[in-house]
Chains A and B, each alone.
Chain A
């Protein structure tokens, strides 16, 4: 199929439709509004639902409803809006419901700004809502991955009966790149015998619920869920390694920060510095093994982030504090330049951690 030029946000929307999603609920917020705009244009033409809810909270609860009925469903927002959705996300997790939540991050906290950021890493990967639960968190670094990982997120969410989040940022959402869209998904959908679709008088009725007042039952639910999370950790880690084979300095970065870092690594290599990149594509499950393996041979790690240093904690946990890890970051909507990352690499090469 021929490549087309699309904005990252549009690629999410078209890929979701091709992945069989016919129900979208959202509320506008920069820099993700193109997702909603695209859905508003396309869904009515293909018999789907586009609904601009009265609030983000309302939208996520509509997602809960459609997911309960066994249909593929999504919502999208940007940081402040995703905070509003957290209660609903916890309920989705507590009811074992698959859904896609897209966060095209902007600077925070509070209303923050509208420029790109990665400062919702904690919220996405550590459980932004209450209770013990996990989200599958995918971090696209190109418009192509906006499309590919949207489709992947629906499949994983269905397979493991849990919500998945696409954690993008304003840059990847707003930029255009050539993209090869996935084919329309027509088969291979996971069966959902648990869905509330009407019994037709032929079976016991299904219940979608997150309320368990008997603690023994609630504990059992939690333990079952974590058995499933263990499988996700075993089977679904995605990571890109770039020039890590002989690397002395290992940069770890995702999304737009990884794109900037690649430029810096190429510049470092041109100066004879052996730098490489580990790019987590799944932020949860985090690619612990790749980091741990790298820790055996590198001098140290540089975490490049558009946050005050959130992923850096997972890097330290993964490499078990065997090598120094330093932060190279910009925040508030600013993006580190390749020169800033290069200078961090040069310092690290000189032993300055």
Chain B
């Protein structure tokens, strides 16, 4: 990426894609021909201290997390929650905050923790909260 002055497009412009694209809204982001200058090809995973882990068992596909995620890092397909894009998630925790299920379907855990272990030790339903 250490281009010389003569190797740029004039005007400091950045192209999103490597090639001409058609109906881009109908192509999933992972299938789009993003260029190296698109933020899609950059990873911010090392910005995280905690990561959200998704537990499909309790998810009601309400899409709140998908709507609220400020980094478009909730992966949803046909209105079904699929998981988290860990290349672009910065670990802000908003998805966990807005998750309405009991117990939560997303939980913030330390970055290095094993996902299987976290799922195995998922919290139980909070009886008090539901009764309240």
Partners in one complex: no
Q: Which residues of B does A touch, CB under 8 Å? A: none
Q: Which residues of A does B touch, CB under 8 Å? A: none
